[in-house]
Structure 1
């Protein structure tokens, strides 16, 4: 009886050991991982056609426009009096502004008139030199000749240019007086044509000849 009990216990231990060994050597099962599906759909907003841009009706100007608006004699004066200076390419301005300033006998960088009252034509030009610096010059009649007068250096000018020239007729001109820090509107009588240098949609300064030199008043802010 005692021997049979021992055999039973021995068999039980063997079974436990075998099952334990099998459990330890079984490959662990991995739980399946559900991956999100790739979203290959294109959003409707990205599929919508972009709105069409209206056709630009403003012409593109080239340097040929200068030949139709500026007398040949002015080119001779430029070569003689201002060597190294030239008219900027029309694309130095935005097309809108170059077109807006174009008149029958004037451009954004050229006007002519009688600035000193001697009944001869004078010419104001916005010019560029070889270092790409910009300056407003006047080719002004001086007896039987012409002289070049530097009217205004545009030291901070960058492309596209936002500056243009306009001819002001003689007569009454309103201007902004800065006397004693007060912003007052006053009037002067221009005896001759004058030159207005305008910063587009901003300030403007008008230059007029008086007492043998150019003086200026603020005519826009």
Structure 2
């Protein structure tokens, strides 16, 4: 199955050229924009006859895009592309995941509605969400999963997805980000345009950081771990 992509994206895909019958006469594995013979990209959805597996040698590395498809073209075997209009979202890179999640939360992806219950315009929640609405600024679209805790004085700017069991501490900001389950954002820290999962975070360009990296200026942890508050914390909340 193939689909047209913008020319500036061709280097991320296998690119095909077909004749009038749809038979593939050329296959390029991730060519540069200058070298690409078309913008018709393989979606990674294949239907093989069992006999095609006989072309794959045993005991060696043999890639579908780099080896098998060019071999099918070289031997002039029946190898066809179907250019069928359908909703196809490719998440080949971590940065693609961030972008697609932004699109989903903005309602730009058909048949993928926001989960949970919409309790305010642009705000969806799961079960048992604890939040001080009066002292928290939330601008949708935002999803707050079940068991999420949002302390007073926080700010959440969408599109943002906060998964089950997360804890956003007092004064923290979460901006256009995706937090995986049980992420705790530290007090007064800002997470902007990030994916946070476990001990790692990735920005929208794909740059990865570990929570202990010297260059990491963010503070996050496991929300299931006990929090040691400063002695004046209770007073500060008054």
TM band (smaller chain): under 0.3
Report which structure shows greater RCO (CA 8 Å, sep ≥6). Answer: 1
Task: Give the TM-score of the pair, scaled to structure 1.
Answer: 0.26
- Name which one, 1 or 2, has greater alpha-carbon Rg: 1
| Larger strand fraction of residues | 1
Task: Give the TM-score of the pair, scaled to structure 2.
Answer: 0.25
